Structure 1
Amino acid sequence: MRASRRDMVILTVLALLFAALDLTLYEAGSEHHAGIVPLLVGDLSLLLVLRTPRLVAWYFIAVSLAILASDELAPGLLSPVHPLTLMTVPPAVAVVSGNLVRTLRRPEALLYIGVLAVLASRPWEPRWDTLPFGLLATITPAALSLYTVARKQLLQSLRDRAERAEREQRLIAGQARAEERRRLAAEMHDVVTHRLSLMVLHAGALGVSTKDPGVSSAAEDIRTAGAEALRELRDLVGVLQGDGEGEGRTREPAPAPDPGTLVTESEAAGMRIDYVVDGAAGTVSPTVGRTAYRVLQEALTNVRKHAPGAWVRVELSYTGDGVHLRVENGAATREPDPALAPTGGGAGLLGLRQRVDLVGGRLRAAPEPGGGFRVDAILPAYVPTAGSAGHDPGGRRR
């Protein structure tokens, strides 16, 4: 057993205390004997009881046998004829008995402790003082040590069970969330997709049957918007299903919209935008590209609502690890439009956070000094979905 620093400190203190006790008893005795030397050596051997417990146990057994032989054959040689204490073995045997249980296998430790208990109590010549005191000095420390070890093992077992139960609870909660996502995805697919499909079909039929160019153009716009909504819904359903359930499907996911169109539309509406793009959008999956598009869309919408006339800088960086989008704007140069500012209710950024979290990204949106605002989104290059199972440009699918 490897002794810790705390164990060594305790053993050092005990060794010094027992050495001081033996020296005190030696000096207080009316007769000096040679037994002080093996006692002091036994006290110092306590420092090795955790590293070499068998050697220390055999040493104390040998000293105890020598004291017993001295009492029978040469009284006063290793122990006084009229001792000041009831001990018939070295006093430090109590520390040895307690530590044997910690370091050796249970049967071997009990064997050594049993031999020391017999030598300390001397049952072949029972006395009212020697027998109980010998058992108290050997059996009691071992019993206390056994209790401590058993209690420590029980507490560790309870901790392990609690940690295992907590892990199982997290797994059950994760499975419940995944099941709820799949149920939600199925509901969206069955209900919303059906309604949108009908809307696209009716809009297409209206565009073909009408002779009014305005109605035809509006119907085509509705049909295009509905088709785009269907593609986005299919992608979102794939994210909700997750875990690669769409493996084996050959249908390619719809390409993500170009964020540059948002910048162009905003500039046409009078916004001043500094647009910087680094890398190619093809390095990320359509799901991720569509999420970046939505983040930029919401950020520019918020600038139009709350900071009209402010300068805007959009930085879009595509890398092999993902995409980093940053949208910064300065303070408003004129009062917000009263028809636009009250709309929204703050749900836009909350929805973006949930969408970014859904694909495993991070979103930070916070005001900047001087009255500006900044939105930072870091998205992974690929997220497995039912709709993008076959589309992994970077080979990141495992």
Structure 2
Amino acid sequence: MITANKNKIIMKTLHLKKLKTVVSFFLLIMFTSLYSQLPAPVGRIYDQAHQQSFVLYNDGMMVQDGNPMNKGLAYHDPSGMMYLRLPAANPYQKAFFLDYNRNVIEIDYIKGARIIGYSDIQPPPNPMIKYVPPIYNPNVGIQTANGFQPLPDQIVDVDNPYGNLMITNEQNAKNCYDRSVGFNGVLDKQKFGDCMIENMAGKKENEIYRCVKNASSPEEQALCLVGTMGGTNERRISASLLKCYKQYGNDYSKYPLCLAGESSDPELQKLLSCVQQQGSFGQVNFMNTAMCYGASKLNMNTEAQIVVQCAVTSGGQPYVFAGCAGGQLMSRELDKCLTNGVGGDSGCFGKNNDIIKGLNKIGFELQNQFGPNNDIVKTWNNTIHDIQYGPGKNHEAVKVFTNLGNELGKAGNNIGKEIKKVLPKIKW
């Protein structure tokens, strides 16, 4: 019995020793892990203007020498113009930065930027892109009211040169006309033109037109168009930069203040750099901005290229825009609205609608080529009927003309000739 108790005591003692060993080993691992993760100093930042210095640690924490309670986190500058945004009481009005040349920069929303110190920290290479103007083909472009506008080689699709026709029916035109006549019986031409654009163009085309019409400068126009032509992220970053532009204009040195609350986004930084650097090469414009930022991130198909160039050169004038983007016959039809009214035998979009006449001529040539029972002929003629008499807007229906135009317009026969007279086109 005594021997059995001794054995139990010995077993318990051995068990406790093993447990202590395991616990000690576990605590050693924890201590080593914690010790190895302690932040390490990266270097010092010297604020000569305020006679103070700070140690920057690799976790982003900055601690003042001699005053450890004065500390805060440094972040990558969301604008990309500086390396780090340093702690500040109100970073939207006065903020401090470390630039890529190791200078400590103070930016005041009224006084602007000044160097107030230096650092012994070695920043990485400046990631801001170096703007290179795109190469335009002088023989490929769009005929606008301001002359021939060439396009960059990278975005031209020679297999799909035709854009979307702008057209509406007589009833929509009458509605626009009636809404645009004042109490004195005089037609408000601008109001009528804007209403017609809204009815003749698609959603994206209308957004492009409004960007140009409402912009106060080429920079604002370019940023708005990037948001319109891009995806969700482009809309977000262009809105952020438009906010900064309205606050500081071309004083880009203050943009880090405006963007202090943003997260670091390489796309935002690239777009800002594209717009900022264009100034040294001449006037900012959307096409240069798109090529710099990345045309593949934007909807830059043929239809969009035509609409953008026509909108930009129109300056937001609806008749100029429609005459350029809507096809050769659109300008003539809109002129009839102003001189002869809407509908009837002589008014616009009525019985003698020049655009419908042009489309019918193409239908006639298609029938001569393929016969009356051919599917292409039927589709073409049915679409003309839908545009004239169908309810609602015709933004989707006109894509039938665009697609068939791209398929058949290359031919040197009468079909190709008639298509060129009606549909908007990139020329070369």
TM-score norm. by structure 1 comes to 0.21
Name the one with the larger helix percent.
1
Indicate the structure (1 or 2) with the bigger Cα radius of gyration. 1
Q: Which has the higher contact order (CA 8 A, sep 6+)?
A: 2
Q: Please give the TM-score of this superposition, normalised by the length of structure 2.
A: 0.20
Q: Which has the higher strand share?
A: 2
